[in-house]
Structures are given as C-alpha cells and as structure tokens.
Amino acid sequence: MEPDYIVELRRQLRRFVEQKAPRDKRQQWDRTHQWPRELFRELSEMGLCALTVPEEYGGTGRNILAAVAVIEELARAGTFLCGPYIHCAFYGGLNISENGSPQQKAELLPKLARGELLLAYGLSEPDVGGDLKSVKTRARIEGDSVVINGAKRWCTGADWADYIYCLVNSDPTAAKHEALSFILIPSKSPGVSTFPIDHANLRYTASSDVHFDDVRLPLDAVVGGREKWGKGWRMLAGRALDVEKLEISAMTFGIAQAAVEEAWDYAQNRVQFGKPICAHQAIRHKLVIARTRLEACRLMLYHAAHLADAGQACAIESSMAKLFIADTGVEIALACQQIMGAYALSDDHDMARNVRDLLGMPIVGGSSDMQKNNLAAMWKLPA
C-alpha cells in the first residue's frame, strides 16, 4: 500500500498529463525532438523537483519513493516530461546532494529544488560505452584551474543543460578506480562545442557529441571539491548509481504501462471476424501476459525503491530491477505492437514511439549485459 500523499500525487499527475500532454502534442514533440519548457515550469511549481533535495537547501527532504512515482506517472506520456525531470531532480538534485562540496550544495541545490537548473550526464565517449573506467576525457590541475580536453558521446541535453556532469580521467598513472573524477562543466564554457546526433528513441531531445578543447574552470568545478579529485569511481558506483538504475527503470515501467493500456483499449475496439480481437485467444493471452509482466515490474521497481528510500543497501535489488524491467519492457513492447497490427506502426498512435523507447532500455543507463556482470560479481560467482 502506498502512503496517501503518493496516491494523491499520482492522481494530480495523471490529470496533469491527460490535460496538458495530449496525443497531438506528444506527436509534435516526438517529431521535433523537443520537450515542453512551460509544462516543466508548471511541474516545478508543484514542488516535484524538491523531492530529491534536503530541507536545509530548500527541498522537501530526499523522498526516492515519491520521485520514482513521479517519473512513472510522467512517463505514461512518453519521455517529454519525465526526461527533463530526471535531468533536474536525479542528475542534479540527487548527485549534488550526495557528492557535492558544501559550496556546490549551497549554490546549486536551492535552484535545483525550484527546477531552475538542468544537468546533462557526460559518461559515454566515442570509444567507451559500458567500460566507463576507461574514459579518456582528460582533466588536469594547473594552478587554481582544472583544464579539460576530450570528447563525450550521447550526452543527452548537452545543448540546453546548464552543466555537464562529466566523468574524466584525472590521473592516467593511477589504478583505474583511482583515476576518475567528476567535473561540473558549465555547458556554455569557452572550449565546449556540441553536435546533436539524431536517434530513434528518447526523442524528448537530441543527444550530442560534445568536444572539450582546453576548457579551463576554477578548481571549485571538481565535484565534491579538491579532496574528491580521483574519487570519481566511488561516486559513480555508489548510491547515486543505485538510484540512477531506479530512475531509468521507472521511466521504462511508465512507458510499458502506456503501451499495455493502448493495446488493451485497441483490442476491445478493433473488430475482426465478427468479434473484438480481444476475444481471439491469441490476443487475449498476449494481453494477460503483458499485464502480468507489468505487475512483476512494479514489484521489482518498488521493492528496490523502498530500500533506497530507507537508506538501505540496494545495489543488488536495483540491478535486478534494471535488468528485469528493461528486458521485460521489450517483451511487453513487442507483444503490444503485434496486438495493434499495422496501426502500431502508424504515427496516429503512441505505440510506435513507445516501442522505439522500450527497445532502447536494455542498452541505456547500464546495459542488461552489464547488470548481469555486476550481479554475478556481487553474488561472488567465480569467473
């Protein structure tokens, strides 16, 4: 049972999504790779971005359960609202609360709580996907400055985010897990250039190639301050990563729900061979299995979210949730697509977009293979 305030939050968000993000708008945002800034401002005014920020910095206190429920509800309309929410409340609010220096917290968290700042994640590189310890983007300290050179790929929102939360190699001579740091790079700094990449999924915005050419910043730009130089791996593999896995899983779950609901309705209205197609056993079974899988996803997601919310260890549960929900989301997508026949391939419905988004989920945010590797290691399976 969810607490009453989350039930009420869901009710408000469902109404918001129904009224303000109807299908014609979703189609337009999808075609143009855009998200609606004015609607995000309205969501921020509801206090949603404050859910990941401690009270002393203007937030409501860290509430992972509520923030995950927000993503789930917003994702029922695709990525157009939950995408920017994640850039603010998760990439920003959670990471800075967890890893920021006192100065970074004081400066950034109040703005993040009000929804006034957006961060992009700069992890992947042209030659680095899952193997993040091997990033080549190089940061070095010169006097009072940190100088960054290199390139990031697939940096979603780099063209409009205020900062890029950027994983760098800060010491090529150190052991790999001591060689990494995070730098908060203002995206309009001299030496930063972005080149948007077109892609089929997560079309709330473009993802970009980003080049850093002698980007020079004050040392304050090191996430956590000078003493966290070389401690990037612990930040990446720590609690923030557990919640990152939940955030992408909540998005997947919300989109999968939308797919099942659309197929469920469609199957009752589409008549073939003298009866609604939901009366044909092949379709009927697909619908029931999809809905059952959805319920399993819900249980995996909220089990891990409860642990994270209570501050308990949840690396295993969040990895299992990411693995299971991403892979099950693909099964749900393909079943729902078949149920809607040709119409699942037409832009007049949401299904085509939801399928595109769901197909990418076992890759983004730590691939399913990586989750399996991580789980095998956490369970100490000999390699």
Ligand X SMILES: Cc1cc2nc3c(=O)[nH]c(=O)nc-3n(C[C@H](O)[C@H](O)[C@H](O)COP(=O)(O)OP(=O)(O)OC[C@H]3O[C@@H](n4cnc5c(N)ncnc54)[C@H](O)[C@@H]3O)c2cc1C
Nearest distance, CB of residue 366 and ligand X, angstroms: 7
Interface ranges with ligand X (CB under 6 A): 121-124, 129-130, 154-156, 199, 201-202, 207, 360, 363-365, 367, 369-370, 373
Nearest distance, CB of residue 170 and ligand X, angstroms: 17
Nearest distance, CB of residue 158 and ligand X, angstroms: 8
Q: In the complex with ligand X, which residue's Cβ is closer, 60 or 367?
A: 367
Q: What angle do CA 241, 67, 313 make, to 5 degrees?
A: 40
Q: In the complex with ligand X, which residue's Cβ is closer, 286 or 322?
A: 322
336 contacts 351 by C-beta, under 8 angstroms: yes
3-state secondary structure of 306: helix
Nearest distance, CB of residue 327 and ligand X, angstroms: 12
Distance CA 359, CA 354 (A): 9
339 contacts 277 by C-beta, under 8 angstroms: yes
Distance CA 362, CA 369 (A): 8
Q: In the complex with ligand X, which residue's Cβ is closer, 57 or 90?
A: 90
Q: What is the DSSP string of 150-211?
A: EEEEEEETTTT-SEEEEEEES-TTS-GGGSEEEEEEETTSTTEEEEEE--SS-TTS-EEEEE
Encoded tokens for 326: 């991403």
Nearest distance, CB of residue 243 and ligand X, angstroms: 16
The b-or-e profile of 274-294 (16+ CB within 10 A means b, else e) is eeebbeeeebeebbeebeebb
Q: Which residue is nearest to ligand X (CB)?
A: 129
Nearest distance, CB of residue 321 and ligand X, angstroms: 17
